[in-house]
């Protein structure tokens, strides 16, 4: 029990430091979880460049969540970080490989009844990212027209 509390306490301190603007804390958080995120993504995609993309996207989302105070619990930071690549894998298994819920749950390592919830969260995030990309593209077009 004590072993579980120590990493959680360290994560709580990292989150507080990031929210206070200490960039060294971001680097420490990245160092702590980057390899695990990469290998989790590599295990699913089997392509190093895709695993790198997943890792970059994951940490972008994690730092945005921390800075914006959108993290539900700093003590569960590890689960939050490692769950992000899992969301992407779940969407791929559902939409591209068209696997049934039971098989998706088995491959992703979650209970079958959680597949729908995780898929819903992943789609919500995907929509938010897509909307931001559309806004950024529109702003870029306006910027280039004004020159």
pLDDT of 3 over the 60 cut: no
- The CATH classification number of 2-145 equals 1.10.1740.10
All residues at 6 or more sequence positions from 33 whose CB lies less than 8 Å from its CB, including other chains: 78, 81, 82
Task: Report percent pLDDT > 90 for the chain.
Answer: 36
Across the range 77-92, mean pLDDT stands at 85
Distance (Å, rounded) from C-alpha 43 to C-alpha 27? Answer: 24
- The domain limits of the chain are 2-145
* pTM for this prediction: 0.68
Q: Residue 107 is encoded by which pair of tokens?
A: 């491959």
């Amino acid at each position: 029990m004590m072993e579980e509390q120590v990493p959680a306490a360290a994560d709580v301190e990292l989150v507080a430091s990031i929210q206070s603007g200490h960039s060294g804390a971001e680097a420490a958080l990245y160092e702590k979880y980057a390899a695990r995120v990469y290998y989790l993504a590599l295990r699913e995609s089997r392509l190093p460049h895709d695993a790198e993309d997943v890792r970059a996207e994951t940490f972008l989302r994690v730092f945005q969540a921390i800075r914006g105070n959108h993290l539900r619990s700093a003590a569960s930071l590890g689960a939050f970080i490692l769950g992000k690549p899992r969301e992407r894998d779940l969407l791929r298994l559902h939409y591209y490989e068209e696997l049934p819920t039971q098989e998706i749950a088995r491959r992703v390592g979650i209970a079958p009844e959680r597949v729908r919830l995780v898929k819903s969260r992943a789609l919500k995030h995907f929509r938010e990212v897509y909307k931001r990309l559309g806004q950024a593209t529109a702003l870029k077009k306006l910027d280039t027209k004004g020159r």
